[in-house]
Structure 1
Amino acid sequence: MNNICVAHRGFSGKAPENTMAAIRLALALPYVRWMELDVQLTRDGVPVVIHDFSLDRTTNGHGKVKNMDWELMQRLDAGSWKGRAFRGEKIPSLEEVLSLASGRLHLNIELKTSGNLYPGLEKAVMELVSSKGMRDEVVLTSFDAGALQRVKELDSRFRTGLIFDSRLGDPTRKLQELDCSFLSISFARLNPKLAKLLAERGVKIMAWTVDKAKEMRRLAEMQSDIMICTNRPDIWGDTFLKV
């Protein structure tokens, strides 16, 4: 069984996404070997783990992540929206997450940016990863081609991955242009022909976001080493680890 379980923003089916609570729940499952998370920059340049460009959906704060300093962001509640049990959960810094995951989980770190939204994001993330000695445990992914190019310019040893969700276009050509060896793709866009082509070119595939056992089995039948990114790693366990 090679279809690795990737916890999407931690165990986000049970805990608030991209929080230490969600990460700890994912870590408690021995078969979770990878985790996907999202990183942006505060106004004062601290890499933080949050998906939306806005604070409104997952915290009691308002406005854009890029307009808030880290000190103020730490005061926000990022858990109550998910349930009373998570009241007071904070937005973690990337450094906190790396410290917890080091030696325990590989990380798919999505650089959440577009154009010049976050100048210096790539460098800040790469310096943190390198300081923890985790370069070989991390792949840096993005929708933004410029971000992936900047990573390679700063340090070509970092593994990079393209996030692809277009109905049109050829991801294989784009991967080659960007020197990416990893493709993060919506499971609905993945088919046996594309999976075979990518495998032949040495590209690692991660399919997202797969929360139903039926779809997990379909992907496993398509190719034995497609990584399955899910909000529900417990369903992955029930699907593939049943005796």
Structure 2
Amino acid sequence: MLWPLPQVLAHRCGGALAPENTLAGLEVAVKHGCRGVEFDVMLSADGFPLLIHDETLERTTSGHGEVSRHTLAQLRKLDAGSWFDAPFAAERLPTLDEALARCAALGLAVNLEIKPAAGFEHQTGRVVADHLLRGRANGVPGLVISSFEDASLAAAMEILPGAIYGLLVEDLPEDWASRAAGLGVHAIHVCADALDAAQARTVRDSGYHLAVYTENDAERAKALLRMGVETVITDFPDRVRASDMFPA
């Protein structure tokens, strides 16, 4: 199976250069030459998938409390940009469908991380997969679905078995191979700081694709690519530039 993601992805839409998980971040990613982005998807109280990382609203919006206790209508009223910088005050939490449509229009590949609130692992996986099944990602040049949650991946695979899936881990646990095989994923996504050359070789030799997060040093990113990593997710697409990343 061909790997559909480019070598460099902007983390949470625009990395540290825009309010995270917003449509503005997608524009910033393109401005800095990215051909792909990573973003997080969670459910509202009424079951709509939208982009946000935290289970609570305080850090990246004007709201308070748990995302899963607010309806989509309530969440859409929140300011998701002012915390970053005043010019982004008009930013709102985008729905998954809006984000995918914008990525398609901008020619951005997507690493979609299923980021369920606690207790919603299965439901979030199914809802995300259902939206994708209904063609919401049409026109997106590449798509990988990843998650730390085995239950979310398994639920998504029930609905959308033909997609490409990645198992997210912080470091490479001893049981990574059995977990990956049991789930039927195609890739391992691991913290860049926790990966060494021997581990990278083991993952690739085992037949899995390999991505890392979140590497913000250009030279380290190049070294990771030489180790066999196929995609580097970064907060600083202006530093870790796709045009500079091709291994020597």
Per the TM superposition, whether the score is higher than 0.5 is yes
Work out which of the residue numbers 135, 149, 167 in structure 2 matches 1:144: 149
Work out which of the residue numbers 8, 13, 25 in structure 2 matches 1:10: 13
Aligned pairs, number: 239
Deviations 1:173-217 (A, max 9, x none): 221111111111100111111111221232111111011123213
Deviations 1:193-243 (A, max 9, x none): 1111221232111111011123213213322x531100111112288169x
Q: Which moved more, 1:136-145 or 1:48-57?
A: 136-145
SS at match of 1:183: strand
Matched, 1:237 2:241: yes
SS at match of 2:190: strand
Matched, 1:65 2:71: no
Identify if the C-alpha distance between structure 1 residues 156 and 132 changes in structure 2 by more than 3 Å, giving closer, same or farther.
Answer: closer
Distance in 1 (CA, whole Å) between partners of 2:31 and 2:176 is 35
Work out which of the residue numbers 35, 41, 44 in structure 1 matches 2:43: 41
Shift, 1:16, TM fit: 0.5
- Using the aligned pairs only, state the percent identity: 27
Where do 5+ consecutive residues of structure 1 fail to align? Answer: none
1:180 is matched with which residue?
A: 185
The one-letter code of the counterpart of 1:191 is D
Where do 5+ consecutive residues of structure 2 fail to align? Answer: none
Q: Which moved more, 1:213-222 or 1:94-103?
A: 213-222
On the 8 A contact 1:143/1:164 being kept in 2, the answer is yes
Shift, 1:118, TM fit: 5.1
1:86 is matched with which residue?
A: 88
Deviations 1:150-179 (A, max 9, x none): 122223212211101146423222211111
SS at match of 2:50: strand
Matched, 1:192 2:197: yes
The one-letter code of the counterpart of 2:113 is E
Q: Which moved more, 1:132-141 or 1:155-164?
A: 132-141
Matched, 1:210 2:212: no
2:230 is matched with which residue?
A: 226
Aligned-residue Cα RMSD (Å) equals 2.3
SS at match of 2:238: helix
Work out which of the residue numbers 126, 130, 141 in structure 2 matches 1:127: 130
Identify if the C-alpha distance between structure 1 residues 228 and 238 changes in structure 2 by more than 3 Å, giving closer, same or farther.
Answer: closer
Identify if the C-alpha distance between structure 1 residues 87 and 148 changes in structure 2 by more than 3 Å, giving closer, same or farther.
Answer: same
Work out which of the residue numbers 110, 114, 119 in structure 2 matches 1:111: 114
Question: TM-score, normalization: structure 2?
Answer: 0.88
Q: Which moved more, 1:163-172 or 1:20-29?
A: 163-172
Identify if the C-alpha distance between structure 1 residues 43 and 71 changes in structure 2 by more than 3 Å, giving closer, same or farther.
Answer: same
SS at match of 1:80: coil
Distance in 1 (CA, whole Å) between partners of 2:57 and 2:118 is 20
Question: TM-score, normalization: structure 1?
Answer: 0.90
The one-letter code of the counterpart of 2:185 is C
Work out which of the residue numbers 155, 160, 167 in structure 2 matches 1:162: 167
2:55 is matched with which residue?
A: 53
Distance in 2 (CA, whole Å) between partners of 1:71 and 1:133 is 20
Shift, 1:62, TM fit: 0.3
Q: Which moved more, 1:201-210 or 1:230-239?
A: 230-239
SS at match of 1:25: helix
Q: Which moved more, 1:115-124 or 1:155-164?
A: 115-124
